A and B are shown apart, each in its own frame.
Chain A
Amino acid sequence: IQLTQSPSFLSASVGDRVTITCRASQGVTTFLTWYQQKPGKAPRLLIYAISTLQSGVPSRFSGSGSGTEFTLTISSLQPEDSATYYCQQLDLYPLTFGGGTKVDIK
């Protein structure tokens, strides 16, 4: 399953609502996950099973979608949200990632 993220880069202001899209080449039934990665660090799990917020992740992050289109939304962008975000499908082998979306704070 190929995952295509858009946009690949976005720049937004603190407080903005930000949406990242992940489109799959075929349907993903359940296991669609979002990660945040900062430079030099391992990725951090944000959302799993499409919309379940990982423990400890701020509630401004949310996930939604079904079938072949999924979104990660940051309801009010904060300075510490500057990072690259990846979607991943774990429905079918080989497990695959989207190409990433770099989020920059204006």
Chain B
Amino acid sequence: EVQLVESGGGLVQPGESLRLSCAASGLIFSVHHIDWLRQAPGKGLEWVGRSRNKAARYTTEYAASVTGRFSISRDDSQNSVYLQMNSLRSDDTAVYFCVRYLASGANDYWGQGTLVTVSS
């Protein structure tokens, strides 16, 4: 069974940093692209960024709202992907999900999400 488990969320002050982790199991992690998405409380879904697989040279993509502040990395030996979030703002407050991306054009497996709250 495919599982994605996020961790690392919590309460931080504006301007601080936080690193989220996503641990995957039940899949051949190295062949998959992994997306990060988020959902602010009571709001809709927002794509944050993508970590491509080794075949795509581990390249990344980011939403404009996080470019220059967030970075995504991965460790295939640990079946994990990471979201480093710097210079956090109140509007980054959200539940963050890591999600498997399929080449057929869909995010099929989602983690349960981890809540990040940015507040003074």
Contact = CB atoms under 8 A, between A and B. Distances in A.
Interface in B19-50: 35, 44-47, 50
A100 B46 CA distance: 11
A54 B108 contact: yes
B107 A31 contact: no
Interface of B: 35, 44-47, 50, 61-64, 97, 101-102, 104-108, 110-113
Given A54-B108, A97-B46, 8 more contacts: A42-B111, A43-B110, A44-B110, A45-B106, A54-B106, A88-B47, A97-B44, A97-B45
B110 A49 contact: no
Contacts of A44: 110
A42 B113 contact: yes
A66 interface: no
A45 B47 contact: no
Contact of A94 (B44, B64, B101): B64
Interface of A is mostly: loop
Contacts of B62: 94
Nearest to A90: B105
Contact of B108 (A45, A96, A99): A45
Contacts of A45: 106-108
Interface residues of A, number: 24
Interface in A11-55: 30-31, 33, 35, 37, 42-45, 48-49, 52, 54
Given A42-B97, A42-B110, A94-B64, A49 B104 contact: yes
Interface in A47-106: 48-49, 52, 54, 86, 88, 90, 93-100
A87 to B, nearest CB: 10
A33 B64 CA distance: 21
A42 B36 CA distance: 13
